[in-house]
Amino acid sequence: MNEPHPEIAVIGAGSIGCFVGGHLGMQTRVRLVGRERVRAVIAEHGMRLTDLDGGRVERLPQDLDYVTDITVARTAELVLITVKSDDTPAVAQALAPVLRESAVVLSLQNGLQNVPVLREALPKCTVLAGMVPFNVLHRGHGRLHRASAGTLMAERHAALAPFAATFAACGLPLELRDDMREVQWAKLLLNLNNGVNALSDLPLREELALRDYRRCLALLQDEALRALKAAGIRPARLTPLPARWLPTLLRAPDAVFGLLAQRLLAIDPLARSSTWEDLAAGRRTEIEHINGEVVRLASRQGMPAPANARLLALVHEAEQGDRRIWRRSELWDELRTAAESR
């Protein structure tokens, strides 16, 4: 067993990194590594971590260790990776000369390529996949709000055992899984809503309450589910209904969906997808790691995924400055036309 208070480093402390690291820091030493602009906010305001179940944790600036220098990770026993997926290669390269061989590296990112990229750059460390099911809303001034529910998941591995108690003690228990690839695909199926949400320019709850947007998501999921089936991948069950039934639920009329999908709709009224947040901040999104992953999987199976390809193109246009708002019927017509023209 490791000592009872393992040192943890969080690399890329933004919304997820500050929320998870801010909680873990109540139990053990946590070094948050990120950008100067975030460091300055935390140094001024500390952190207020809240959640939709009424939880509230206040962290004072002097109790937080936020730095911009990644080499502080050299003493960490557990390293959480919370950068956006496009930043993983750079972070992996920067960590390679820094980390101890015994370090456990846990990716808390969306997408499927982060763990392979980290494993290649850090062959001596134990690199494991994790999954964050909930949304974290960044409200400014160090305020981070868990805006939906769910339990953190991580790949079952003996090397994680010494850290499990720390996660549990701060109210973020890890559900250990033997099927992380299937979990990641199931999460990706849900993340297919990220681009729809970003283009709608609506909070998640309002967007998901509108059938035409849900039809868009159902179409994107249909293509992904077909490709997954052809590839022999069975997505894990993360929702009350199995993933393969979600498109049918999504296509239900608004009133029926509202009744049947209460758990899915248990989201803070202000929450939006991380893709929306990226576009709003003028950043590149992770869309290549979401819909792009579906397009590539389908293509490997010799299948088309035209609605995903179209959505991908629309989000790329938005990244390049074309921030038009896609009303529900417009987006539905656009994706349906793309799907029918193949």
Q: Which residues bind ligand NDP (CB under 6 A)?
A: 12, 14-17, 33-35, 38, 70, 82-85, 87, 90-91, 108-110, 132, 135-136, 274, 283, 286
Angle at 75 between CA 8 and CA 61, to 5 degrees: 50
Measured CA to CA, the distance from residue 220 to residue 63 in angstroms comes to 44
φ/ψ bin of 15: left (φ > 0), alpha (ψ from -120 to 50), beta (otherwise): alpha
From the CB of 92, what's the least distance to ligand KPL, in Å? 21
Which residue number places its CB atom closest to ligand NDP? 14
Residue 34 touches which member of ligand KPL, ligand NDP, none, C-beta under 5-8 Å by kind: ligand NDP
Phi (first) and psi of residue 130, to 5 degrees = -130, 175
Phi (first) and psi of residue 270, to 5 degrees = -95, -10
Instruction: Identify the residue among 28, 135, 200, 221 touching ligand KPL (CB under 6 A).
Output: 135
Measured CA to CA, the distance from residue 330 to residue 59 in angstroms comes to 44
Which residues ranging from 254 to 283 are in contact with ligand KPL (CB under 6 A)? 273-274
Measured CA to CA, the distance from residue 246 to residue 238 in angstroms comes to 11
Q: Nearer to ligand KPL by C-beta: 105 or 190?
A: 190
Is residue 308 part of the contact set for ligand KPL (CB under 6 A)?
A: no
Phi (first) and psi of residue 159, to 5 degrees = -65, -20
For 66-69, the CB contacts below 8 A with 24+ separation are 66/13, 66/32, 66/33, 66/34, 66/38, 66/39, 66/42, 67/31, 67/32, 67/33, 67/39, 68/33, 68/34, 68/35, 68/36, 68/39, 69/33
Interacting span for ligand KPL (CB under 6 A) from 33-41, 92-100, 187-195, 234-242 = 187-195
Q: Nearer to ligand KPL by C-beta: 265 or 303?
A: 265
Q: Nearer to ligand NDP by C-beta: 49 or 136?
A: 136
Q: Nearer to ligand KPL by C-beta: 99 or 189?
A: 189
Residue 285 touches which member of ligand KPL, ligand NDP, none, C-beta under 5-8 Å by kind: none
**Per-residue x/- track, 93-112, ligand KPL (CB under 6 A):** -----------------x--
Is residue 191 part of the contact set for ligand KPL (CB under 6 A)?
A: yes
Instruction: Give me the residues that bind ligand KPL (CB under 6 A), please.
Output: 110, 134-135, 190-191, 194, 204, 273-274
